[in-house]
Every structure is written in structure tokens, then in C-alpha cells.
Structure 1
Amino acid sequence: MAHVYAGLGDDGRKIFLYAADRKTKVRQVLWGDWLSLDGEEPDGWLRIKWSPNSNPQILYVPKADTVATRPLEIVFLDVGQGDGAVLITPETGDKEGVIVVDAGEGDNMERFLNGRFKAYRGFSFDSAVITHPDSDHYRGFSAIFANPKIGFRRIWHNGLVERAVSGTWAKLGAFVKDPVDKLTYQTELAQTEAEVRAQIPDRKANAKYGYPSMMQAALDNPKVGEIGMLSTEHGQIENGRSYMPGYAPSDARGYTIEVLGPAVERDAAGKARLRRIGGSYGETKNGHSILLRLAYDRFTVFFGGDLNEPAERYLLTRYAGLPAFPAAGSADYRLMVGKVAQRFRSDVMKVCHHGAAKVTDAFLEAVNPACFIISSGDEEGHVHPRPDLLGRLGRAGRGASPVLLSTELQRSTREKADQALIDKVGKAVAQLAAAPSPALAETIKADLAKLSKTNVDVYGAIYLKTDGQRLITAFKIEASSPTDLWFYYEYVFTPGGELVLVT
């Protein structure tokens, strides 16, 4: 089917689809939205088949407001407490790549994939990235991997595969204290699919634990290809750097995805290992999150996983080549931040660990983004995002007014429940108690099902789109209408290389 894409208006001008009179705005469209063509009018307007499969109608758009190619898109999904993002490459057809980075804990990711891709391309995706074994990052993959209609060419994890046992450290297998540096290292990394299978061999035991059951579903899915570890040494190595396979400079896509963590170390015999970080199990598995940095022409985006303060200190000193973390404000401190910025500095940062406060100012200064994106949920006891962190982000961000976006804060919920329906159900229950009636019971059941539906009016998903020269971060507007659906910030670089916020 012939198609074009919605363009990006100059200086923040919004793009609309119009009725036949060319004056009545019917629907706002966002840069990159797919528009099915029905033909071109003599006056230069295009006829668009809108919603052809459900509520078909012919709408109109100026040809100048469309483009032939689409931008790269990243959707930071509102998964509640947790992380879940979908990267959609700018290629089309068989060359299009869909990468799912974490999937939250519930079914939001599965529902998004079904709604977004079912109609036009099916569910054969490029990659799934499980940044680390925390349930609010991986549990949403369980149903996705168990669905035989959904496939991934590759599944990547950070090498720390939790076994089907109770406890903490026992889940990760053998560890060794190095006789020279006196540090403790996890040494049983699952670098290959065969090693994953060897570490979770008991299907019955796997079913009792979250991570093993999720990974077992992936192993059982015939549409899943390679399963392996992704790290600074497990990737496509080019010029001494690790890239997600298929997204390295030599692949000539126009953009790259570099892997900046976990940082693998080698023992005296050359065996790969990951050091224990911060002394606790949670800090170690979080601190070795898969860290990705996407670079598309002039724009860069950093995915921070669940990094924490001790992990950031480790990475800062490692990338700067320093033996210890220097005192704040010292010459070595500034040198460290400058060196790390050469690898980590990004225009957009997916904030580490849902906006937890235990992060370092040095790491924020090294990344120095113009826009922060926080993925968090409100049904948790962690107080994410932390109010004190928000102030630190603003201070560490680039420019006079860094933008802070949060899936939780962008979400819109109804203030009150449906009181009339509640009253109706209450009266019906009283009637049913007085005189049993199967028909009334069914009515009550239907009304209760309606009351139990989500109270969310607008989910807080944050959309990032870029062609390498311009970039927008967008979210749906609360209580929106079809002609007022989106709010977005646009960024461009000046000829002198300065990043400027347009809207």
C-alpha cells in the first residue's frame, strides 16, 4: 500500500489531517506517523485513508507536511514501576528493526506490541534486551516469550542468570575472591545459550521462580534465535569498542548502538568475570545492567538501566583509568568527568534506577543530557522519582532549562470513580439478596467488570523521534481531543554545534 509519513513542522508548527474543506482540522499527527495514500489532488494536497481497518475515512494533508522517510523512534513505555522501551529503526520492510529493552512487570509491553505491530508487520522482532535480573525489568517478557507468535532474532542479557534456587548470591553460582586485588567476582557467567541451559536445567524447578521461568519460555520458543550475553566484551567489537551486533559502524546504518556495560574483567587465566559491587546482591545485579548508547548522526541517547552509586563510581574510575574515586572538585575529579564524558555524554538520558536518589553527581555531569526520561510507577514504596533527585537532574543537565519527563508524572488518571455506577451496583446487590435472579446477577457481573477497568485516561508513554538532525520528545496530552493529542519538545543543533530547544 502506498504511503507517506507525517512530517515535522518548522519551528514547532503542528501537523494536522483535515476534512475535505481543507479548513476543518480532524486529527493531529506526530512526526513519523504512517499515512496510507489514496491519491493526490491537483492543488497539492494528499488524500489519506485514515484508520482503514476499523473506522475508515478519507482525510487530507498538504503534501509539504509529509515526508518519504521516517525517523528513528524510541517509545519509553508506561509500564508502571519498572522499565520498558521499544526502539524502532528508520528502515522499512524487511530491514526494519524492532528492539525491546526491558518489558516491565505486568502486561503493558505485550499489549503495546500487539497494538502497534499486529496490523502491519507481525511479531518477528530483532532483539530483546534484558538489562538485568530485576522483576520490574524482566517479568513482562514471560508472557511475550511464551507466545509462539512472537519471535526475536536475538535475546541479550547481562550474563547474570538467576538459577532456580532460593536466597541471593546462590542464584548466581560460583564466586571467587581474587588473591591479588582482594575483590570478589562472580565467575559463572552465562555467556552462551548452552551455558544458560546448563544453569537452569530443571524445568519443574524453573517454574517456581520468576527469572528461570521467563528464560525457560524463551528457550522453548521456536521463534527465538540466539540467546547470549551482551557486555563490553560480548558484542560486535570494532575499534576496541563493543556494539550490539548488527548496529556497529561497519553495518553502515547511519546510526550505532554501543554497549558501555556491564564491564567485564578477566582473571589471571583470562576468564571473564563481573565484580561484586557495593557488597549487596541487589547493588551487584543492578550495577551490571546492560548500558546502551545510541548515536544517530548528531544526536545521542543513553539507556542507564538500574545503575546505582557504587556502580557509577566503579564505571567512572574504570573509564577514566583512575585507581580510586577522587575527591569532589579536585583536578582528578574534573579530569575523570571529562574523560568519561567522551564515551557517555548524551543528549537524552533514560535515568538510572527509576529516579532513585543514590546516584553520583559525577556520572550525571559526565552524561550531561538536555533531556532526562524517568520510568517509574506509583504503586511502589520506593518514592520514585525522588524529589531531591529531580533538583539534582536539573542542576546537572545541559542548558538553562533541562527537560525532565517521567512516565509516572505524564500519566493521567481520573480524579473520581464512577459513583453512579457504584450506586447502581449497590442497589442491584440488595435486590439480588432479596430475590435471586440469574439475569440480575449477570448485569451485576458486567457492571463490576466495567468498574474494575483501569482508571488511567492517558498513559505516560514518552516518544522520542530523530533523523539525526532534529529530535523531539513527545507525550500525549491529558484530556486530549483528536486535534490536540500531543505535546512535544523539539531540539536542533545550531551551525556552531550548540543544542537548542525549539519548543
Structure 2
Amino acid sequence: MATAFIDDDFVALRRMPEPRARRVLTLAFGDEVELLERRDGWTRLRAVNVFDGTAEGWVKGNPPLRESGVLKLSMVDVQQGDGLLLETPGGQIVLIDGGDNKLFARHLAERFRHRRSSAAQPLEVAAIIVTHGDADHFSGLDHIVASEALDGDDARKRLFLKPLRLFHNGLVKGPDRLSDEEIFGRTVVVGDQRYIVDLHDDPGSVAPEAMNGPFRRWMATLDHWRQRGPIACRRVAHGMDEAELFDFLAAEGIDVELFGPFDEAVPAPDARGLRFLHKPSPAAEIHLEQGDGGGALSASHTINGHSIAFRLSYGAVRINFTGDMNHESMALLRHRMAPAALEAEIVKVPHHGSHEFDLDALKAMRPVVGIISSGDEHAGKEYIHPRATLMAAIGMAVRGRTGLVFNTELAAFFAVRDLSFTCKDLAGFFSDHATRQFTGKQVADLISGKAHETGFPRPHFGFERTNFGIIHVRTDGERVLVFTHSGKDGLNEAYRFSVTRNAEGERSVRFARKVKTR
């Protein structure tokens, strides 16, 4: 059976056993398939990388197929946090952050269920890039290890990984009891600037008592994975040798340019340090201001601002990854790099759409597509992301007359489920009344609220998230397809455009009139 990849925007795969069956699975540009047969104006395919790899069906006509894969980027809805998955044309997997709950782990388990990972044959991950040491960017990776113990109906959520590399910014957060100036370890002052000099290649080299709780749990996850083989841990910063660090990507024609963090030479005891950043100005138009705002030193703004930021290039298409960069670090980036060096067709918008951005840096990036990871989880994690000023700024920064802004929160879909109870509450009530006899009508009256019963759980008006707000970007280096899913099968918000370069390296972008669905 010949293996190939979908070369149309979308293809409707009508499921077995009959060609004209109503059950339809939508395949997208770059999805891997096996060509089984062609008969009577139909083509039978097996979707290799969908669910458990057994999805077969028929496509009307002769769908265009390609021999090579495409670059795939998925921004997963992890609520508050970042979790991105990069798959190279050759099938290498790179994880960029992982949120702080189980959503990223669950998506990966479903996405790679066809690979049937196990402790004996774990799924190989070329690299994990933790952009910075805030829990909403890495604690979700712990849930991948926890999934290994799932059984019964939950066994399909298992995922066994074997990471080969870990890239991070070198900062390890200490216990919360420490002051902002102490939380990253040793610092030195040069002139009026304070620098952090405790920068680590292997965060596991830090004593557990010098870490906060999320870091200790993250180190336990790394120790677990290390039992399957060595993990090359590296602190990365602007100016380091990208060709050596990312040689595994260069072999597929994928280039990486490090934007940040910017480390600097400082006096003894160490050669390099990261400057402490500051609390920003409270101004509504902070994005228009210059400088650091003159605020006090801030640990949270320091670790955010020193996110690993980089530009990934494949053919004529460039993608900027910005972590949680903020106003001060974006201004630093703009001052140290030429505007042309920041330009990209797709920009991962920094810090979930926070208001603390630098407008001129965003304008230098000149995105065609901005993608934002944000979502509500609970009131304790509500930061009003994305901010209205940021959304307007992307509109001002986009290249040409057409720009796209996708947000994971807006791409999610909820279905009304009427009055609902938790199984635990119902089980508790009927367990407490195990000796009583309930008629069917009595149970119905209790559930509907028509009958009052002390201790019966109060119903809540229920919703179910039937579609998570995943944003997909796929490209062969010239053609780009960007899409999300919806609550209706086969309905996507999708756009396709092409990127071409002239002899001087200048890019031009042309949108397709419409996407194609076969």
C-alpha cells in the first residue's frame, strides 16, 4: 500500500463500509494516508495518523496526493497557558511548553494514539522547549507521566514519551518565601543594573530545596523520562550556535534563529547573566511608551521577559515564537535586532495577549497571522487575556490589507446540556438513603426539582465543551493553510495563502479566494 499525504486543503473521507455513507471524517492538507484502491470514480484511503490509524473511507474522484509531508504547528487550548505541538515534514515531534493542566497531555495522547506508545516503545520526542519557568508553561507535562498509570476505559489516554532534548532559559524559580531579588539565586550589580548569574544548563543540578513546588515536580518528570535514555539539557540564549543546537531540524531544511533571551557578559563570579526586569508602567497606553517604566524589580516580569523567543523558517514561511515576552523585553529585542530580522508570516502573540507589549516590535514582525493562546479556567487565573489594546495593535501591525487573528478561547465550542448533576453527588445521596425505596416518579421529581428532599444535590445548568480551540498552521514552505474546528462536523474557519520570495529575499503574500473541500 502506497503512503502519501493529502495535497488539497480539505478532503471529506466517507467512512466504510459504503462509499456514500453519511459518516464523514475531514482530512486536512498534510495528513498522512494510505492509498488502497480506486474504483468507479471513488478513491479508498486509510487515514494513518487519525485516532488509532484504522479510519478508512472513500473520497469522490481522484484527490491530489503528495509524496512528502508538511510542517504542522498546533496551538492547543490549555486554558491559561501555552502548549504548542510542532511536527516536521519528516515526522519529528517538538513540544513547545505544555500548559499546567491535563489538556495538553490528553491532546497528545489522542493525536498519537495510532503510534501505540508503551513503556517498552515510548514515543520519541526530538525536543521539548520550555520557554520559561512559569508553571502554566510546563506543569502540564507532568500529566503525561501521570497518564502512564491510567487503566480501564482511561487507558486510551496513556502516553509514554522519550524526550531527547530539553531547551530552556536557564532560570530556576526558588520557593515563594524568597524575595523577588532572591528567587533566582545569585545576582550581581553592574552600574544601576542587577543581573542574575545562577543560570543552569541542567535544572536538575539545582538542589530541591532551592526550587518551588512546580519545579520540583517537573524535575521528577524529567528523572522519570531519563530512565528511558539521556536527555540533552541546554540553556539557550541569543547569539548561541543555532546550527549546533537545532541540527536535527536543519537536516529537514528548517532553520531556527534565537531572538532571546539576551544574556550579557558580567564580572565574576560568572561570565554571563540575565538582567532583572521591572514592573511596567500602569498606563493604558504602555505599548506606546519607551524604556522600562521605572518600576521596581519584578521576578514575574523577569522570567516572562526572558522567554526563549525564536524564528523558525521553512522555505519562504517564517514563524515567530515569543513565549511570554513583555514590554521591556520586546523593546530590548527591537533595539538589538534590525526590523527585517523580526519579520514573520505567523506570529505567536506574546503572553496570551497581555497589554504589556511593545507596539513597534509587533509592527516590525509584520504578521500575516497572529495566534493567541488564552482561555478561562477559574477566577484565580483570570488575567483578561487577550486585551483589547493588543487585539487592536495586531490589526495595525499586520502586513498588507488582510490579516488574521486566531484565539484559542474564541475557537472553542460549547453545547448546552440542561440541568446536570455530578455522579459523585448523586451516588452520595442514594448511598445515604440505601435502605429507602424510590419509585421512578420520585427519582424523576427529585432530578427535575419538583420534589424537595434535604440533602439532594442541587442541579446546575450544564455545558459541555465539544470542541477545544485548537489552532492549526500547516505549510510546505510556500503554501500555508490556517484553520480551526467548530461545533459542526466538516465546518472549519480556514484560510489559505501563498508566500513567495524574489531575488532580494522580499516576501509577497497572496490569499486564495477560498479554501477547497473535496
1:232-381 equivalent positions in 2, closer than 5 A: 232-236=238-242, 244-247=246-249, 251-268=250-267, 271-278=271-278, 279-319=297-337, 339=338, 341-379=339-377, 380-381=381-382
CA distance in 2, matches of 1:39, 1:189: 57
| C-alpha displacement of 1:135 | 1.3
Contact 1:244 1:259 in 2 (8 A): no
Query: Which residue of 2 is the match for residue 188 of structure 1?
Result: 198
| C-alpha displacement of 1:27 | 3.3
Contact 1:77 1:462 in 2 (8 A): yes
Q: 1:288 to 1:438 in 2, by over 3 A?
A: farther
Contact 1:16 1:25 in 2 (8 A): no
Given residue 181 of structure 2, which amino acid in structure 1 is its aligned partner?
A: W
Query: Which residue of 2 is the match for residue 476 of structure 1?
Result: 485
* CA deviation profile, 1:176-223 (whole Å, cap 9, x unmatched): 001xx43110001002x2xx3332245xx86x7112221232134213
CA distance in 2, matches of 1:264, 1:495: 33
Q: 1:176 to 1:34 in 2, by over 3 A?
A: same
| C-alpha displacement of 1:142 | 2.0
| C-alpha displacement of 1:408 | 0.6
Given residue 489 of structure 1, which amino acid in structure 2 is its aligned partner?
A: Y
Matched residue SS, 1:155: strand
Query: Which residue of 2 is the match for residue 200 of structure 1?
Result: 207
Query: Which residue of 2 is the match for residue 218 of structure 1?
Result: 222
Contact 2:11 2:59 in 1 (8 A): no
Q: Which of 9, 16, 21 is the matching residue for 2:12?
A: 16
**Structure 1: which 5+ residue stretches go unaligned?**
320-338
| C-alpha displacement of 1:296 | 0.6
Matched residue SS, 1:343: helix
Q: Which of 159, 183, 192 is the matching residue for 2:170?
A: 159
Which range moves more in the overlay, 127-136 or 254-263?
254-263
Which range moves more in the overlay, 261-270 or 57-66?
57-66
| C-alpha displacement of 1:235 | 4.5
Matched residue SS, 2:375: coil
Query: Which residue of 1 is the match for residue 508 of structure 2?
Result: 498
| C-alpha displacement of 1:69 | 1.8
CA distance in 1, matches of 2:401, 2:462: 42
The alignment covers a number of residue pairs equal to 450
Query: Which residue of 2 is the match for residue 323 of structure 1?
Result: none
| C-alpha displacement of 1:40 | 3.4
Contact 1:463 1:474 in 2 (8 A): yes
Query: Which residue of 2 is the match for residue 229 of structure 1?
Result: 235
Query: Which residue of 2 is the match for residue 436 of structure 1?
Result: 435
| C-alpha displacement of 1:374 | 0.4
CA distance in 1, matches of 2:173, 2:345: 34
Identity, % of aligned positions:
25
Which range moves more in the overlay, 65-74 or 402-411?
65-74
Q: 1:150 to 1:439 in 2, by over 3 A?
A: farther
| C-alpha displacement of 1:261 | 0.8
Given residue 12 of structure 2, which amino acid in structure 1 is its aligned partner?
A: F
Given residue 276 of structure 2, which amino acid in structure 1 is its aligned partner?
A: R
Contact 2:185 2:198 in 1 (8 A): yes
Which range moves more in the overlay, 116-125 or 342-351?
116-125
CA distance in 2, matches of 1:56, 1:117: 14
Which range moves more in the overlay, 405-414 or 47-56?
47-56
Q: 1:429 to 1:260 in 2, by over 3 A?
A: closer
Q: 1:209 to 1:437 in 2, by over 3 A?
A: farther
| C-alpha displacement of 1:257 | 2.0
Contact 1:145 1:214 in 2 (8 A): no
**Structure 2: which 5+ residue stretches go unaligned?**
118-122, 149-159, 279-296, 445-456
* CA deviation profile, 1:229-252 (whole Å, cap 9, x unmatched): 1222444357xxxx53423xxx34
| C-alpha displacement of 1:68 | 2.1
Given residue 160 of structure 1, which amino acid in structure 2 is its aligned partner?
A: L
Q: 1:173 to 1:56 in 2, by over 3 A?
A: closer
Contact 1:286 1:305 in 2 (8 A): yes
Q: 1:24 to 1:439 in 2, by over 3 A?
A: closer
Q: 1:78 to 1:358 in 2, by over 3 A?
A: same
Given residue 488 of structure 2, which amino acid in structure 1 is its aligned partner?
A: S
Give the root-mean-square deviation of aligned CA atoms.
Answer: 3.5
Q: Which of 104, 107, 118 is the matching residue for 2:102?
A: 107
CA distance in 1, matches of 2:462, 2:492: 24
Query: Which residue of 1 is the match for residue 405 of structure 2?
Result: 404
Contact 2:242 2:258 in 1 (8 A): no
Contact 1:83 1:104 in 2 (8 A): yes
Given residue 170 of structure 1, which amino acid in structure 2 is its aligned partner?
A: E
CA distance in 2, matches of 1:41, 1:344: 50
| C-alpha displacement of 1:61 | 4.8
Contact 2:174 2:183 in 1 (8 A): yes
User: Is 1:128 aligned to 2:128, yes or no?
Assistant: yes
Contact 1:46 1:63 in 2 (8 A): yes
User: Is 1:49 aligned to 2:55, yes or no?
Assistant: no
CA distance in 2, matches of 1:315, 1:150: 34
Query: Which residue of 2 is the match for residue 488 of structure 1?
Result: 494
| C-alpha displacement of 1:163 | 3.3
User: Is 1:176 aligned to 2:172, yes or no?
Assistant: no
CA distance in 2, matches of 1:65, 1:113: 28
Query: Which residue of 1 is the match for residue 33 of structure 2?
Result: 35
CA distance in 1, matches of 2:182, 2:85: 32
Q: 1:256 to 1:452 in 2, by over 3 A?
A: farther
Q: Could you tell me the TM-score, scaled by structure 2's length?
A: 0.78
1:63-142 equivalent positions in 2, closer than 5 A: 63-91=62-90, 96-120=91-115, 122=117, 123-142=123-142
| C-alpha displacement of 1:392 | 1.3
Which range moves more in the overlay, 265-274 or 72-81?
265-274
Matched residue SS, 1:393: helix
Q: 1:436 to 1:283 in 2, by over 3 A?
A: same
